[in-house]
Amino acid sequence: MVNASFGEARGDLLAVWARDRMDLGRHEYHKDVQTVKNLEKIWADRYYSHSVATTLLLDDSPAKAILQPYNHIVVGDYTQESRAHDLRVHAPDTPETTPTPFPRGCDDTLLAVVGILDTIKSQTNVARWIRFGGLQLRESDQHGLQQEPWFQRSEVREHWRVKGVRVLAELGIRVAADVIP
């Protein structure tokens, strides 16, 4: 997935955290076992010089970030049902299709993540921003974890999607939906 996403720019990444970095045994590696991404491993490596203030984990599993929950932005699962829906909405000969470059109803998670990342890049402490409600667009007295996930709150998701579209437009990047059948 990383190679497909980054192509020739993959070499510019400092690190890729995949199953081979998760201390799994030989038998666990190829099985569907619960894993935890302990960010302390990254912070302990002085080569990267990052900390709780500068590290963000994007993952669809809250369990993977149990050790550092405020450094984690949960994204919704992209399930087979989600994919089937996107294929229906994006198909050229269906009544649900719209002529816009990004049909309403298609999964807009990546657009929202662009908006979130654009906001986070100016934060001095990522974990503090998440902990105190920045992702949810409100101050939190519950420290961010007990709230409904941001992507399930339509007004929050829409805010981040709109911001993501605006950021991409400012960068001259055209937004278009595509689902490879």
What is the pTM for the complete model shown?
0.78
Q: What is the pLDDT of residue 97?
A: 44
Q: Are 71 and 127 in contact (CB under 8 A)?
A: yes
Q: What is the pLDDT of residue 103?
A: 57
Range of 4-13, 49-58, 118-127, 131-140 with top mean pLDDT: 118-127
Q: What is the pLDDT of residue 6?
A: 76
In the chain, which ranges are continuous DSSP H helix? 2-6, 26-29, 40-44, 80-90, 109-120, 126-131, 154-170
Query: Mean pLDDT of all residues in the chain?
Result: 81
The percentage of residues in the chain with a pLDDT greater than 90, rounded to a whole number, is: 34
Q: CA 12 to CA 163: how far, in whole Å?
A: 26
Residue 159: pLDDT over 50: yes
List CB contacts of 70: < 8 A, sequence separation 6 or more.
Answer: 52, 126, 127, 128, 130, 131, 143, 144, 145
Question: What is the average pLDDT across 58-82?
Answer: 88
**Every domain of the chain and the residues it spans:** 36-170
